[in-house]
Amino acid sequence: MIPPGIWRFADRLPLADPRHAVSLGEGGTPLLDVTDALGLPAGVTVHVKAEHLNPTGSFKDRIAAVALSLVRERSLRGVVGTSSGNGGAAAAAYGARAGRPVVLLALATAPPEKLVQIRSAGARVHLTDGLGHDPHTTLRVAEQVRAAAGRHGWLALLTGGRYAPEIMYGARTIAYELAEQAPDATHVYAPIGGGGLYASLWRGYRDLGGAVPRLVAVQPSGCPTVRDALAGGPGVLAEPSTTGISGLQVATLFDDDVPAAVAGSGGHLTEVTDERVAAAHARLVRLGVSVEPAGATALAGLLDDADAGRLPAGARVVLVATGAGWKDVHALSSLAGPGPLPHGAADLEELLA
């Protein structure tokens, strides 16, 4: 029997013995056709890769599954890492599944829903001022986590190829699935925070040896690390990040392959304002695709490209929706409308007339 989800690709994952695999059913997420609802030029098709439907609500489950499998196979003590929320929630759940402790340093601005999700699974969380937003703090803490994990026999959960290349194989499985689900895709739009997802898509497509679609990196304009990297810089902000998009407030790239992925796929960078992300978020949620704002950032990039004439006729587009809407109730509340709900017996005849 072929195992479901990411473990169909066990021969490409860094686990010596698949019997050590830790799984909650991650991977195998569907493609949702949203073409007709977007009003793009005739011939353009758009599908959403519904990564928000993973067990803990984000694509980070793929990474956590590999991480905790390696912990179990190598008899490591547990997982220690940094998180803006989704990676921590995934690590906490998979740590609970594997019976291993999880220690996380989290952004002080992480949505409370994500922190509750992490703590309810038994992980220990310490809020860390400046993490994510401030480049110097973010780099310093990442190096501390990597070094401390090595000294104490833990695995470092830092979701980028620079710090933890093995666990990022989990994110490559998105490309493996897309090659099957959308073999004719010409463009894949993905949001960028630390860059690990975007670079992993490129590496995943390259693993397969076939054509690589154009990979479009979509990043909030208040956190322009990719712009710096494409200009030959280190991908580190000179000033703190100003975007309010949870999960994309990473003031330094965690993956050095981002420029190579842009060039190697013939892709490009599209920067979007927080306001454009909010508008894209509303459109997706009202199509029934309940994502958090970071999960709608790819759509914001696509719409900006379409408005700017950068979307060619006949493009076949996949948007990677990274995280579920219930992870950021504040953002969903802004779409629900003001005022209290009506209370008391309803006149159904009047409501349905």
**What residues does each domain of the chain span?**
5-58+168-335, 60-157
Sign of CA dihedral 320, 116, 152, 6: negative
Give the three-state DSSP class for 218: strand
CB 5 within 8 A of CB 64: no
Mean pLDDT score, 2-20: 91
Give the separation between CA 338 and CA 340, rounded to whole angstroms: 7
- Tokens 């994502």 -> residue: 291
User: Which two tokens mark 98?
Assistant: 């594997």
Intrachain domains 5-58+168-335 and 60-157 with the same fold:
yes
Give the three-state DSSP class for 68: helix
Lowest mean pLDDT among 46-55, 83-92, 282-291, 344-353: 344-353
- Tokens 């003590």 -> residue: 77
The DSSP bridge pattern shows strands 124-128 and 214-220 to be unpaired
Q: Is it the case that residue 327 has pLDDT exceeding 90? A: yes
Q: What is the pLDDT of residues 92-115, one digit of tens each?
A: 999 999 999 999 999 999 999 999
Fold of 5-58+168-335: Rossmann fold (3.40.50)
Q: What is the pLDDT of residues 285-316, one digit of tens each?
A: 999 999 999 999 999 999 999 999 999 999 99
Query: Partners of 271 in the beta sheet?
Result: 219
CATH code, 60-157: 3.40.50.1100
pLDDT of residue 1: 54
CB 304 within 8 A of CB 269: no
Mean pLDDT score, 84-88: 94
